[in-house]
Chain A
Amino acid sequence: MSDRQPGFSTLAIHAGAAPDAATGARATPIYQTTAFAFDDVDQAAALFGLQAFGNIYTRITNPTTAVLEERVAALEGGTAALAVASGHAAQLGVFHTLLRPGDEFIASNKLYGGSINQFNHSFKSFGWNVVWVDMADEEALKRAVSDKTRAIFTESLANPGGVVTDIEMVAKVARAAGVPLIVDNTLATPYLCRPIEYGADIVVHSLTKFMGGHGNSMGGIIVDGGTFDWIASGRYPMLSEPRPEYQGMVLAETFGNFAFAIACRVLGLRDLGAAISPFNAFLIATGIETLPLRMQKHCDNALAVAQWLEAHDKVEWVRYAGLKSDACHGLAQKYLPKGAGAVFTFGVKGGYEAGVKLVSSTGLLSHVANIGDAKSLIIHPASTTHRQLTDAQKTAAGAGPEVVRLSIGIEDVADIIADLEQALAEI
């Protein structure tokens, strides 16, 4: 192609995936192998020394996984990406590269329950201290910054509360603090929102959700925005100090605007080991080819279901940023103009018991802990995903006793509504 910039749908299909050099296979081959034969000793030495590009071992790189990485980097407008075993592994990889024991990071108090657990428990055992704030409160966010702060973390569209983050505002605070902004873009996907365009420095995903789109593969990814100056900052020694295992190489100097992704790979993934299976990478990369079509249908269906629920007499409230009545509607119009995603919550009249009854009564909607499947999914967070949190944390995370979470799929919307109608009649 010429130098015109390809559109999003073209990148979703083509980015990273030329015909296979060895065979001409047009689909991305699944390189289901652990190791790669070296051409010669000199090439092997160059690969181990990070002097040449190439594959050694699937824990570090794999050509199938590389297609997924380049594709997501292109879709997010980043310089590079690193795919890993899950969204949790992506977060572990990011913070392992940024933090030392005793450091702090600021995180939104409206995150996916699994992230709240990871930050509150496992990360604290590493000496990485989370400071929770309400990201909508700019003054509280500024007050949370200390000389130990090394990053700010938020979700573009929060799970399950449906809260939209004012990314530009948070990015401004991060810049003033001299720390990178990390945005979890799992629920929005780059089809709806590209956080790097609004000032994010690093984007993470659980690819398990809408990116893969079919509920068949675990995966996560770290996208390097290429925007943060690691050397000028001096607060991130993994990037700015000589690495003893690479003969004193300084990664930020050597790899420039994709150094963060390389550091997460050659230090974090190498040592922490949470590699994605090439087969999963293949399934997710294939799923991404239809991301623009699927995501639009997810959003259109979700809006129709949310509007229907809002008018239902057994429904107390609906929290979906796509609704005009929603507190986040203004932010959604700015950050998510094509649709407010497909995961949202509503409050069922009758509290905890009614919530449990509802999820036990659906026939088409599946009662599972996942989101972002082609199938419509339903869950009662207070009794499942968020049950390990305290009552106060549940409410802060938008997972109170009456809350039901939906992940609307791409079935015929009339069938989704009919199933919810009969299940609500059971209460």
Chain B
Amino acid sequence: MNHDRYEDAYIRGILDEVKTIAVVGASANTVRPSYFVVKYLISKGYDVVPVNPGQAGKKIAGVMTAASLADIDRPVDMVDIFRNSDAAKGVVEEALRLNPLPKVIWMQLSVRNDEAARLAEAKGVKVVMNRCPKIEYARLCGEIGWAGVASNVISARKPKLQQGFQRFGINRQQKP
């Protein structure tokens, strides 16, 4: 797996497949990226579990925070890591002890640990590194263009409106 560049189809497939996302290092501070990634993913319909021992038992963006991955009471499809690159390995090892295994390990922008990625991939777990799921979702669905940001996506297919007028879904209008 080449982790320098991901095909859009790979990222779209992951964001379309996963339902429950644990965000390790989620913050209660509302101006931190690790807060509004949680908030954005909730608004897109994901079942998000913030993981932060300092906030355990309290809510972040309206949902209950777990102290650790092992404390989550339901299967987790994706583990999103807001820790530095060195600390990411320990989080990945913890994630790989979950039963059932998560389908995806995702490390945030600027977070990359190739050794940890190899451990996950050896167990059949997909890996994304140095990317933000909020940016990737907004890029692939088209919302990011509203802020003048280049999506690097061109398409003759309609974006999919979600509830309201200012929310797009990840999948565009399907081929008939």
Interface residues of A (CB under 8 A from B): 1-3, 6, 10-11, 14-16, 18-22, 24, 36-40, 43, 46-47, 49, 51-55, 61, 63, 65-67, 69-70, 73-74, 78-83, 246-249, 253-254, 256, 258, 261-262, 265
Q: Which residue in chain B gives the minimum CB-CB distance to A82?
A: B148
Determine if A262 and B147 form an interchain contact, defined as CB atoms under 8 angstroms apart.
Answer: yes
Binary per-residue interface labels of chain B (134-176) against chain A in the complex, 1 for a CB within 8 Å, 0 otherwise: 0000100011111111111011111111011111100011000
Q: Give bound CA distance, A391 to B43, whole Å.
A: 62
Given A70-B145, A78-B150, A246-B31, A39 and B156 touching (CB < 8 A)? no
B147 contact set on A, CB distance < 8 A:
53, 61, 66, 80, 258, 262, 265
Chain A residue with Cβ nearest B138? A53
User: Chain B: residues with CB nearer than 8 A to chain A?
Assistant: 7-9, 30-31, 33, 35-36, 39-40, 43, 109, 132, 138, 142-152, 154-161, 163-168, 172-173
Closest CB pairs A-B (n = 6) = A39-B164, A69-B148, A54-B166, A51-B36, A73-B150, A14-B154
Evaluate contact between A49 and B149: CB separation under 8 angstroms. no
Q: Are B154 and A11 neighbours in the complex by a CB distance under 8 Å?
A: yes
Does A21 contact B142, Cβ atoms closer than 8 Å? yes
Q: Quote the shortest CB–CB distance from A49 to chain B (angstroms).
A: 7
Which residues of A have CB within 8 Å of B40?
51-52
A39 close to B166 (CB less than 8 A): yes
Residue of A nearest to B10 (CB): A3
Which of A11, A70, A258, A262: most chain B Cβ within 10 A?
A70
| C-alpha spacing A63/B151, complex, angstroms | 14
Q: Are A19 and B149 in contact (CB under 8 A)?
A: no
Pairwise interchain contact A1-B155, C-beta atoms closer than 8 A: yes
With A1-B154, A18-B159, A52-B40 in contact, do A67 and B165 touch (Cβ < 8 Å)?
no
Q: Tell which of B39, B146, B150 touches A74, judged by Cβ atoms closer than 8 Å.
A: B150
Cβ contact within 8 Å between A20 and B149: no
CB-CB under 8 A from A63, the residues of chain B are: 146
**Inter-subunit contact A54/B143 (CB<8 Å):** yes
Asked if A24 and B143 make an inter-chain contact with CB atoms under 8 angstroms apart, the answer reads: no
| Given A21-B160, A43-B166, A51-B39; A80-B146 close (CB under 8 Å) | no
A3-B7, A19-B158, A249-B31 known; A79+B150 contact, CB < 8 A = yes
Pick the residue among A2, A37, A40, A80 that contacts B150 (CB under 8 A).
A80
Closest chain-B Cβ to A14's Cβ sits at a distance in Å of 4
A49 to B168, CA, bound (A): 19
Contact across chains for A10 and B146 when beta carbons are under 8 A apart: no
Subset of 6 A-B contacts with CB under 8 Å:
A15-B154, A18-B155, A43-B167, A46-B43, A66-B146, A81-B150
CB distance from A47 to the nearest CB of B (A): 8
Question: Assuming the A-B contacts A1-B155, A51-B39, A52-B43, are A265 and B33 also in contact, with contact meaning beta carbons closer than 8 angstroms in the complex?
Answer: no
CB atoms of A6 and B31 under 8 A apart: no
A265 and B148 within 8 A (CB): yes
Contact B163 A39 (CB under 8 A): yes
Give the complex CA separation of A38 and B35 in angstroms.
Answer: 22
Distance A256 CA – B30 CA, assembled complex (angstroms):
18
Minimum Cβ distance to chain B for residue A303 (Å): 32
